[in-house]
């Protein structure tokens, strides 16, 4: 009976050790998820900034093309 109790105690100790190990792994994974979320937010902000820059450049390009067209039309009118 005493040997049986020692075996049960050893099994319980092993299970507690496994639980502690799993809890440690879970904590580490939660930290990784938090870090990943922070990185995702950072990338999202970068994307918004880049999209704003692209929009501004597209507007400048459109304005530049409009000016070029106007100048070409004036030049054509002068040639006539």
> pLDDT band at residue 5, thresholds of 50, 70 and 90?
confident
The token pair at 67 is: 């000016």
pTM of this structure: 0.59
CA–CA separation, 21 and 14 (whole Å)? 10
Provide mean pLDDT across the span 54-62. Answer: 98
Q: pLDDT of 35-52, one tens digit each?
A: 999 999 999 999 999 999
CA distances (Å), origin 72, targets 27, 47, 65, 77: 67, 37, 10, 9
3 state DSSP class of 1: coil
């Amino acid at each position: 009976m005493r040997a049986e109790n020692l075996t049960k105690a050893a099994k319980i100790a092993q299970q507690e050790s496994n639980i502690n190990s799993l809890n440690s792994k879970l904590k580490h994974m939660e930290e990784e998820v938090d870090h990943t979320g922070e990185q995702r937010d950072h990338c999202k902000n970068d994307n918004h900034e880049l999209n704003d820059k692209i929009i501004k450049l597209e507007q400048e390009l459109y304005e530049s093309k409009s000016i070029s067209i106007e100048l070409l039309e004036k030049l054509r009118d002068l040639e006539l």
